[in-house]
Amino acid sequence: ATPVSIMVGSGRAAQMGVLFRSGAALEGLGAAQVVAVDKTGTVTQGRPEVTEVVAIGRWQQAKAELLQLTAAAETSSEHPLARAIERAALGKGESVNALSPASNFQAIPGYGVQANVNGQRIEVGAARYMTKLGLDLGELEAQADALARRGRTPVFIAVDGQLAGLLGVADPVRGGSVQAIQTLQHQGTEVAMITGDTRATAQAVAAEVGIERVLAEVLPEGKSDAVQELQAGGRKVAFVGDGINDAPALARADVGVAIGTGTDVAVETADVILMSGDLRGVPNAIALSRATLRNIR
Ligand code: ADP
Ligand code: MG
């Protein structure tokens, strides 16, 4: 495209809250055959909330205590799930100081966290984390499946190496997501979702917004491989993400699109930035990119 049409296109995009880092980005986005979206914080609001608490064994009589121990173990975590668990454990106006102090905190990206609280070892995370620890999910497996099929992220809790309970965490889809995905599909773009979350949870969310292709249970370092998988046969892939984990995928994609409300790393790595969190910015930007290219022919 000519410098003038690129300037005009970029200016129009900025009015819609879409910032293109370069002329190449403005030209490239319209050529994307696949738009891959991150789930948490991109398709969904990224403001998870604990909606179910399940306790087993002796913890059935001490559900509140189990939730407090779990929240205490999560205080040093930067994961959005950690904040949701804290909020669920704390009373109105209570700060995290109300929780017991945790020591020996360790985060295992893509799996969960562990810490010692009140002399007990607390492990919190995905099913694959429990499996990694050699724990059998037992009666909780079916309950976790049922939660996941309703779009909840199941979070398991173990105390001193014994499974103690399960949380269901809900993260509602963003207002504009359904319409954005429909428009992308009408534009002839395939939409895929990439997430570290449980497969059943991811599929439930994908079904809610009309996405057919789902790459789930992807480890943080695997997101760029997932983008590469979508690039098979030379297809041009745009990746839309918001998180720290998303930087390698944003870099690997033919065009990286960051949600402007996301983390700095994501915004710095991206070719295109959506100033509002609204996913409808993506089909709008694609339409604009295509119009800019047409103008110069
Ligand atoms: P995503 O951002 O795509 O949801 P992550 O790689 O951050 O994926 O996490 C994948 C899964 O690992 C989460 O869905 C959750 O089950 C588990 N997990 C990661 N961090 C934590 C944490 N701090 N507390 C509980 N579970 C966690
Ligand atoms: Mg995310």
Q: Report DSSP letters for 156-199, one per residue.
A: EEEETTEEEEEEEEE-PBPTTHHHHHHHHHHTT-EEEEE-SS-H
- We report the CATH number of the domain holding residue 128 as 3.40.1110.10
**Using a 6 Å cutoff on CB, does residue 112 contact ligand 1?**
yes
Residue percentage of the chain with pLDDT more than 70: 98
Same domain, 33 and 177: yes
The pLDDT value given to residue 224: 96
**Using a 6 Å cutoff on CB, does residue 26 contact ligand 1?**
no
From the list 124, 53, 116, the residue with the least C-alpha distance to 82 is: 124
* Ion ligand 2: residues, Cβ under 5 Å: 38, 40-41, 243
- pLDDT > 80? residue 17: yes
The pLDDT value given to residue 296: 59
Asked if 171 is an active-site residue, the reply is: no
Same domain, 201 and 289: yes
Tell me the best of 74, 77, 79, 128 to mutate to test the pocket of ligand 1, counting ligand atoms within 8 Å of each CB and taking the most: 79
Question: Does the CA dihedral 87-89-91-93 come out positive or negative?
Answer: negative
Same domain, 149 and 98: yes
> What average pLDDT does range 2-20 have in this prediction?
84
The pLDDT value given to residue 102: 97
Domain of residue 30: give its range. Answer: 3-45+173-295
The pLDDT value given to residue 229: 97
Q: How many domains does the chain have?
A: 2
Residue bearing the bigger pLDDT, 263 or 107: 107
The pLDDT value given to residue 262: 65
Among 170, 196, 211, give the residue marking a domain's end: 170
| 93 pLDDT tier (thresholds 50, 70, 90) | confident
Q: What is the ipTM of this complex?
A: 0.95
| 237 pLDDT tier (thresholds 50, 70, 90) | very high
**Using a 6 Å cutoff on CB, does residue 127 contact ligand 1?**
no
| 221 pLDDT tier (thresholds 50, 70, 90) | confident
